[in-house]
């Protein structure tokens, strides 16, 4: 790939010529002139039990509806339609365990058998169309089966990342009123067992809705089984009820497919709701175009199914495209920092999609680790979750991609369900910029008053038009959906990010403008961290902020005011950090806890986190006129 101007890379023209989008600019222009037509054409590439009447119904905006009147089921397109064609015997998933010995492969045919079995079992537990099922599983094949099985029977899955605490899990189970929880005895984390079933036991102890818990055996640690409530998946699989085909439930395009909890600016996580039809069309086409999916590809998205990236680009997008995906149970550095490079070589991965934080952490170990492996199978790289700093981009490009692989920096959110800003292979690459809006999409960067800012100036990033895979609402909270996304600038979707645009129309994401912190690409709300802190008996008040961190992007720093009778000290600081880790998630563990007498607040009592942030970085504290005293 030629570097023409400083920090501008022009890929070999052959890349565009042989891709699904040989001329991105003209497709962009064409799709933007008629987004509805563009999406209708994409939807035609998939199968529907009944065709839609209306592509986009905006009569109740911002409650947009897509493909109304259409009937399908995402699983029909992820699995069923492949069973009668050339993909029947193709590998859908290749799975490798953390221990490097456990290895499984599933063709589309055998994936179907597994999903049928899981679907039959879920059904036998009284779960019907529309019911919510909580999935709390590690990166093992059953998480794929469970998600697809729910979708197949029309149940709504709620996947919780298997690192969340019992408290966090319990509140999400209760909020979704799940009847069924699917978990494992434990998960493998760097050679040690993380006791998932124990956490589920704590979480469901007082749950009014959970009737059954399915337990997949993975780590063989001892667990307690409630004779009436808990069932080993192995035992259930042996029952006659598990056998045979389970019909794929015909769904309306707008029927819910899943909810996924994500952090917002209040303590209560929001449940983002996605639907069968639009989400299917969006994830299918964004993956196809952006990563130029081809039959011979071996796609590896390193995300966990517990996050939206895992939902859209590990489970649904790849199977909708009939692609072969690789899933790895472990992390990048165990037992050695060459683990991912070794797997890329061993499995001949062609397209590798990961997060800047992982790239930065691997970069620190030096070039020798990737250089020990033959990475020549790679043809495309991808990045997601936070802005990628140019140094990490350059390293990924030069050392991992050997200067040959374009890097797709994809900007999107749990809410958008699919890529919103990205390049496609063959387009000019600017390290650190996510590129341009996806086909049919338009964005704007606005000032406080809602006027577009000039090129190069920072402003609020908004999406100008709805997209098929965008959230339909916040589950059980339509008002919060309107308030959060559609109120600041009526008719435009507020992303919560700030950004700037350059004269070529490339978008440069700066970061969150709200009380959300991206830590290692994971999304956390300051309020969640604060409420975990104040649940500790020593803490009277707490504030959490994110400060720049070399590897994690941002790290959490906490400020706490102690209750009378407690003394500040290193030990207490450490136990507060542990407390957050246990009561929210290890991801949320503050790097630093500082004891203060008082928090900066507005006269109305709101914590002024920006003041803490400015002080911590030695920056100008800005306008302090609203500060209490």
Does residue 497 bind ligand WT7 (CB under 6 A)? yes
The stretch near ligand WT7 (CB under 6 A) out of 109-117, 199-207, 214-222, 385-393 is: 385-393
Does residue 552 bind ligand WT7 (CB under 6 A)? no
C-alpha angle with apex 478: 476 to 484, nearest 5 degrees? 120
Q: Which of positions 512-541 make contact with ligand WT7 (CB under 6 A)?
A: 512, 518, 523
The stretch near ligand WT7 (CB under 6 A) out of 93-101, 409-417, 536-544, 546-554 is: 409-417
Does residue 500 bind ligand WT7 (CB under 6 A)? no
Q: Tell me whether residue 108 or residue 411 sits nearer to ligand WT7 (CB atom).
A: 411
Q: Tell me whether residue 121 or residue 434 sits nearer to ligand WT7 (CB atom).
A: 434
**What is the Rg, in whole angstroms, of the alpha carbon atoms belonging to the chain?**
24
Give the tokens for residue 502: 């350059």
Does residue 360 bind ligand WT7 (CB under 6 A)? no
Please report which residue ranges of 158-231 form alpha helices under DSSP H: 166-176, 196-204
Q: Are 287 and 262 in contact (CB under 8 A)?
A: no
Does residue 411 bind ligand WT7 (CB under 6 A)? yes
Does residue 306 bind ligand WT7 (CB under 6 A)? no
User: Residue 412: helix, strand or coil by DSSP?
Assistant: coil
Does residue 501 bind ligand WT7 (CB under 6 A)? no
The stretch near ligand WT7 (CB under 6 A) out of 9-17, 20-28, 383-391, 589-597 is: 383-391
Q: Tell me whether residue 394 or residue 495 sits nearer to ligand WT7 (CB atom).
A: 495
Give the tokens for residue 589: 């563990």
The stretch near ligand WT7 (CB under 6 A) out of 39-47, 494-502, 534-542, 573-581 is: 494-502
CB of 305 to ligand WT7, least distance (A): 13
The stretch near ligand WT7 (CB under 6 A) out of 384-392, 396-404, 525-533, 589-597 is: 384-392
CB of 498 to ligand WT7, least distance (A): 9
Interface residue with ligand WT7 among 184, 434, 529, 587 (CB under 6 A) is 434
CB of 565 to ligand WT7, least distance (A): 39
The stretch near ligand WT7 (CB under 6 A) out of 12-20, 63-71, 188-196, 378-386 is: 378-386
Cβ-based neighbours of 355, under 8 Å, separated by 6 or more: 302, 303, 383, 384, 385, 386, 520, 521
Does residue 261 bind ligand WT7 (CB under 6 A)? no
Peptide bond into 416 cis (omega under 30): no
Q: Which residues pair with 180 in a beta bridge?
A: 133, 212
Give the tokens for residue 584: 């929210």
Does residue 410 bind ligand WT7 (CB under 6 A)? yes
Structural element, H or E, at residue 10: strand 9-10
Interface residue with ligand WT7 among 495, 520, 526, 585 (CB under 6 A) is 495
Please report which residue ranges of 70-107 form alpha helices under DSSP H: 74-78
User: Residue 610: helix, strand or coil by DSSP?
Assistant: helix
Binding letters toward ligand WT7, positions 90-119, x by CB under 6 A: ------------------------------
CB of 509 to ligand WT7, least distance (A): 4
Please report which residue ranges of 543-608 form alpha helices under DSSP H: 570-583
Q: How far is CA 527 from CA 72, 206, 384, 483, 561, in A?
A: 39, 24, 24, 18, 15
Does residue 413 bind ligand WT7 (CB under 6 A)? yes
| CB neighbour class for 487 (10 Å; exposed up to 12, middle 13-18, buried from 19) | exposed
Beta strands in 441-535 (DSSP E): 443-446, 459-463, 473-474, 493-501, 507-512, 516-519, 522-525
Interface residue with ligand WT7 among 117, 149, 162, 384 (CB under 6 A) is 384
The stretch near ligand WT7 (CB under 6 A) out of 82-90, 186-194, 412-420, 538-546 is: 412-420
Q: Which of positions 67-86 make contact with ligand WT7 (CB under 6 A)?
A: none
CB of 408 to ligand WT7, least distance (A): 9
CB of 366 to ligand WT7, least distance (A): 25
Interface residue with ligand WT7 among 308, 392, 539, 562 (CB under 6 A) is 308
Does residue 283 bind ligand WT7 (CB under 6 A)? no
Tell me how many residues contact ligand WT7 (CB under 6 A). Answer: 21
Does residue 509 bind ligand WT7 (CB under 6 A)? yes
The phi-psi region of residue 590 (left if phi > 0; otherwise alpha if psi is between -120 and 50; otherwise beta) is beta
Does residue 590 bind ligand WT7 (CB under 6 A)? no
Cβ-based neighbours of 411, under 8 Å, separated by 6 or more: 384, 419, 420, 421, 422, 434, 497, 507, 509
CB of 395 to ligand WT7, least distance (A): 17
| CB neighbour class for 222 (10 Å; exposed up to 12, middle 13-18, buried from 19) | exposed
CB of 518 to ligand WT7, least distance (A): 6
Does residue 42 bind ligand WT7 (CB under 6 A)? no
Q: Tell me whether residue 387 or residue 459 sits nearer to ligand WT7 (CB atom).
A: 387
Please report which residue ranges of 164-270 form alpha helices under DSSP H: 166-176, 196-204, 233-237
Q: Are 314 and 302 in contact (CB under 8 A)?
A: no
Does residue 304 bind ligand WT7 (CB under 6 A)? no
Q: Are 202 and 164 in contact (CB under 8 A)?
A: no
Does residue 350 bind ligand WT7 (CB under 6 A)? no
CB of 412 to ligand WT7, least distance (A): 4
| DSSP 3-state percent helix, strand, coil across the chain (nearest 5) | 30, 25, 45
Euclidean distance between the first and the last CA atom of the chain, given in angstroms as a whole number = 57
Q: How far apart are CA 558 and CA 590, in angstroms?
A: 6
Q: Tell me whether residue 169 or residue 314 sits nearer to ligand WT7 (CB atom).
A: 314
Cβ-based neighbours of 268, under 8 Å, separated by 6 or more: none
Does residue 409 bind ligand WT7 (CB under 6 A)? yes
- Contacting residues toward ligand WT7, per CB under 6 A: 262, 308-309, 384-387, 409-414, 434, 495-497, 509, 512, 518, 523
């Amino acid at each position: 790939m030629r570097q023409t101007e400083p920090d501008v890379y022009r890929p070999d023209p052959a890349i565009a010529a042989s891709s699904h989008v040989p001329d991105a600019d003209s497709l962009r222009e064409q799709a933007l002139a008629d987004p509805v037509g563009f999406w209708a054409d994409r939807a035609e590439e998939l199968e529907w039990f009944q065709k839609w009447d209306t592509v986009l119904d905006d009569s109740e905006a911002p409650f947009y509806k897509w493909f109304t009147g259409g009937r399908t089921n995402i699983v029909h397109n992820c699995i069923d339609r492949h069973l009668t064609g050339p993909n029947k015997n193709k590998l859908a998933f290749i799975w490798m365990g953390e221990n490097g010995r456990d290895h499984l492969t599933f063709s589309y045919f055998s994936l179907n058998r597994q999903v049928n079995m899981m679907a039959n079992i879920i059904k036998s537990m009284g779960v019907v169309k529309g019911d919510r099922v909580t999935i709390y599983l590690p990166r093992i094949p059953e998480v794929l089966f469970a998600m697809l099985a729910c979708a197949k029977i029309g149940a709504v899955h709620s996947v919780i990342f298997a690192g969340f605490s019992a408290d966090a899990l319990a509140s999400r189970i209760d909020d979704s009123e799940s009847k069924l929880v699917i978990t494992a005895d434990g998960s493998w984390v760097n050679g040690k067992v993380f006791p998932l079933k124990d956490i589920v036991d704590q979480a469901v102890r007082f749950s009014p809705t959970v009737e059954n818990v399915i337990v997949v055996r993975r780590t063989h640690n001892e667990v307690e089984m409630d004779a009436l409530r808990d069932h080993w998946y192995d035992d259930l699989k042996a029952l006659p009820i598990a056998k045979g085909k389970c019909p794929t439930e015909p769904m309306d395009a707008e029927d819910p497919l899943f909810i996924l909890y994500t952090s917002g600016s209040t303590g209560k996580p929001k449940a983002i709701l996605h639907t069968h039809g639009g989400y299917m069309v969006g994830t299918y086409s964004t993956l196809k175009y952006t990563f130029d999916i081809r039959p011979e590809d071996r796609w590896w998205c390193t995300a966990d199914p517990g996050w939206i990236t895992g939902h859209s680009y590990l489970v649904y997008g790849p199977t909708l495209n009939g692609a072969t995906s690789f899933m790895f149970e472990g992390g990048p550095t165990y037992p050695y920092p060459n683990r991912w490079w070794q797997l890329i070589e061993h499995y001949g991965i062609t397209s590798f999609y990961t997060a800047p934080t992982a790239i930065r952490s691997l970069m620190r170990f030096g070039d020798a680790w990737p250089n020990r492996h033959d990475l020549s199978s790679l043809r495309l790289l991808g990045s997601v979750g936070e802005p990628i700093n140019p140094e990490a981009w350059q390293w990924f490009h030069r050392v991992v991609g050997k200067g040959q692989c374009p890097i797709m920096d994809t900007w999107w959110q749990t809410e958008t369900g699919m890529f919103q800003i990205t390049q496609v292979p063959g387009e000019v690459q600017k390290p650190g910029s996510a590129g341009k809006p996806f086909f049919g999409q338009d964005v704007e960067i606005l000032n406080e008053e809602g006027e577009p800012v000039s090129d190069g100036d920072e402003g609020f990033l908004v999406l100008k038009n709805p997209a098929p895979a965008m959230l339909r609402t916040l589950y059980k909270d339509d008002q919060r959906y309107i308030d959060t996304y559609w109120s600041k600038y009526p008719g435009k979707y507020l992303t919560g990010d700030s950004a700037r645009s350059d004269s070529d129309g490339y978008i440069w994401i700066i970061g969150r403008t709200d009380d959300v912190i991206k830590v290692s690409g994971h999304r956390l709300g300051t309020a969640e961290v604060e409420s975990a802190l104040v649940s500790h008996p020593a803490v009277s008040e707490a504030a959490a902020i994110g400060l720049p961190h070399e590897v994690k992007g941002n790290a959490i720093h906490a400020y706490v005011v102690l209750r009378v009778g407690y003394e500040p000290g290193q030990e207490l600081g450490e136990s507060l950090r542990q407390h957050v880790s246990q009561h929210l998630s290890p991801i949320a563990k503050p790097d630093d806890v500082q004891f203060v007498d008082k928090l900066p607040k507005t006269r109305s009592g709101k914590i002024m986190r920006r003041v803490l942030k400015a002080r911590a970085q030695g920056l100008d504290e800005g306008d302090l006129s609203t500060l209490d005293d």
